[in-house]
Amino acid sequence: MIHRDYLIVGGGVAGASVCDALRQYDPKGSVTLVSNEPFLPYQRPPLSKSVLKDGTPDVDKLIEKNAEWYQKRGIETRLGTLVREFNIDRRLAVLECGQTIEFRKACLATGSRPRRPQVAGFNLGNVVYLRNYRDILATREILESEKYVVIVGSGFLGAEVASSLLGTGVKLSLLTRDRAMLQEFLDPGTADWLTEKFRGAGVQLLLNENLNGFEGKTVVKNVQTKSGLRFPAGLAIVAIGAEPNLQLVQHTPLSSPGGCPVNEFLESDEKGIYAVGDIALYPDRVFGGVRRSTNHEMAKLQGFVAGGNMTGRKRQKFEIVPTWSSAVLGMHFDFVGDFSIPHLLAEVEGSRDKQNFIARYRRGDALIAALLCNRKPEEVRKLQEDIRLSALSRQKK
């Protein structure tokens, strides 16, 4: 039996951030981080951009904190290791190798997995679901021999992948049931503008089309839509969203249809067990209700808050206006605020045509969200504060 004060299950940036906070507030407590990936926690945003496009940077340059950082702080890292059982009552984690870790406190940072369409041929060869570094390497290898590429999905990942593959010599098609690119996050005018940008860049857009299935014996050869369209595909990249990885705690109070429920301190009802990143379903103290954030920036912030709270020496509520960024067609976009419902109207400052603008979204009189295209970081921070004050003012009315 191995005894640890703190156990982190999951090796993404959220897990690394938990470790950082633990050591800042408790330099001596024993810590183990367990990850089923063979790499130390690394940054995922570049995967769908520079790594997919030209193979750089390699994984060592994406590492959030190197091996020496963990060694100097006495943090044990178990990489390429799966936790097969997590016992809440006995505070035990059983590893795939059979070893058991008894912990005092734990943080779940298990991330998410790509959603797979329930259609024929979804598991054929060359139908890929991008999540980690190895997925990108495998995709790049396929691209060396296949020239007909179909992307399924028009969200952030689909848009970024399409942008990265432009100019690589492939014949690129994008299939989506939506009427426009990123329509869940953009007002109709901005969504239509972005859609035309993709079309003008040479992407064949198949809008308002539902996937019917993938055809092929062992590897994908064609893609078929429910309307009857059928077109060649030597590589199909599916990007239709992700689901929280909660299999480890399935059928326990740590699992719900929306994620792992936690309080404002990111602690579950099971005292001493926390959750961060893609799985954490936390109370939104700014906009109300509950929220699950699935991006790099929020995962990192949550990890640091939870790590401090785990030590008991830093008690902090997670209260923030969400913000994240994306790179599409050579443009940098920042998203700030509440995008949980579609925004129909936008107040646009600047010019979409010049690829430099701010779109502000309101709910009644309250400013609740903003999209920034190629704007300065200080403008992002100012809007984040403006939205926070506006939301809090709305709560008082």
Q: Are residues 137 and 235 in the same domain?
A: yes
Confidence class for position 397, pLDDT limits 50, 70, 90: low
Q: How far apart are CA 163 and CA 327, in angstroms?
A: 8
User: How many Å apart are CA 383 and CA 371, to the nearest integer?
Assistant: 10
Q: Is 165 a domain residue?
A: yes
Residues 27 and 56 placed together within one structural domain of the fold: yes
- Mean predicted confidence (pLDDT) in 223-231: 96
**pLDDT tens, residue by residue, 280-315:** 999 999 999 999 999 999 999 999 999 999 999 989
Query: The domain spanning residue 348 has which CATH number?
Result: 3.30.390.30
Q: What is the mean pLDDT of residues 147-160?
A: 97
In-domain check, residue 370: yes
Over residues 318-370, the pLDDT tens digits come to 999 999 999 999 999 999 999 998 899 999 999 999 999 999 999 888 999 99
- pLDDT score, position 268: 98
Distance from C-alpha of 241 to C-alpha of 164, rounded to nearest angstrom: 18
Residues 200 and 125 in one domain: yes
325 in a structural domain: no
Asked if residue 320 is part of any domain, the answer here is: no
Same domain? 129 vs 209: yes
Report the pLDDT value the prediction gives residue 301, as an integer from 0 to 100: 97
Q: Which of 194, 212, 240 is the last residue of a domain?
A: 240
Domain assignment of residue 324, yes or no: no
Q: Give the pLDDT confidence of 28-63 residue by residue, as tens digits.
A: 999 999 999 999 999 999 999 999 998 888 899 999
pLDDT tens sequence across 129-143? 999 999 999 999 999
Q: Which helix (H) or strand (E) holds 59?
A: helix 59-62
Return the closest-CA partner of residue 45 out of 325, 332, 334.
325
* Structure confidence at residue 391 (pLDDT): 87
The total domain count for the chain is 3
User: Which DSSP state fits 42?
Assistant: B
Q: What is the pLDDT of residues 174-190, one digit of tens each?
A: 999 999 999 999 999 99
Q: Mark which of 222, 240, 258 sits at the end of a domain.
A: 240
Residue 394 has pLDDT above 80, yes or no: no
Residues 351 and 363 in one domain: yes
Position 57 scores a pLDDT of 84
Both ends of the chain: CA-CA distance in Å?
55
Total residue length of the chain: 397
CATH code, domain with 156: 3.50.50.60
Residue pLDDT, tens place only, 62-77: 999 999 999 999 999 9
Match 């191995």 to its residue by tokens: 2
pLDDT at 47: 95
Residue 224 has pLDDT above 80, yes or no: yes
CB atoms within 10 A of CB 210: 12
> 183 and 211 share a domain?
yes
396: pLDDT strictly greater than 90? no
pTM: 0.95
Which of 8-12, 142-146, 159-163, 389-393 shows the lowest per-residue confidence on average (mean pLDDT)? 389-393
* Mean pLDDT, all residues of the chain: 96
Q: Please give the full DSSP string across 171-231, using - where no structure is assigned.
A: EEEEE-SSSSTTTTTS-HHHHHHHHHHHHHHT-EEETT--EEEEE-SSB--EEEETTS-EE
Q: Are residues 247 and 108 in the same domain?
A: yes
Q: Confidence band (pLDDT; 50, 70, 90) for 395?
A: confident
* pLDDT tier for residue 3 given thresholds of 50, 70 and 90: very high
d(CA 306, CA 172): 42
- Residue % of the chain over a pLDDT of 70: 99
Q: Same structural domain for residues 72 and 157?
A: no
Residue 124 lies in a domain: yes
Domain of residue 356: give its range: 330-396
Rg (CA), the chain: 22
Cα 378 from Cα 322, distance rounded (Å): 16
pLDDT of residue 213: 98
Residues 103 and 19 in one domain: yes
The answer to whether residue 322 sits within a structural domain is: no
Assigned domain for 317 exists: no
Same domain, yes or no, for 134 and 230?
Answer: yes
Q: Are residues 64 and 167 in the same domain?
A: no
Do 224 and 155 share a structural domain? yes
Residue finishing a domain among 219, 240, 261: 240
Cβ atoms within 10 Å of 261's Cβ, excluding its own: 17
CA torsion 100-102-106-110 (nearest 10°) is 10
DSSP letter for each residue of 289-344:
SEE---SHHHHHHHHHHHHHHHHTS---------EEEEEETTEEEEEEE--SS---
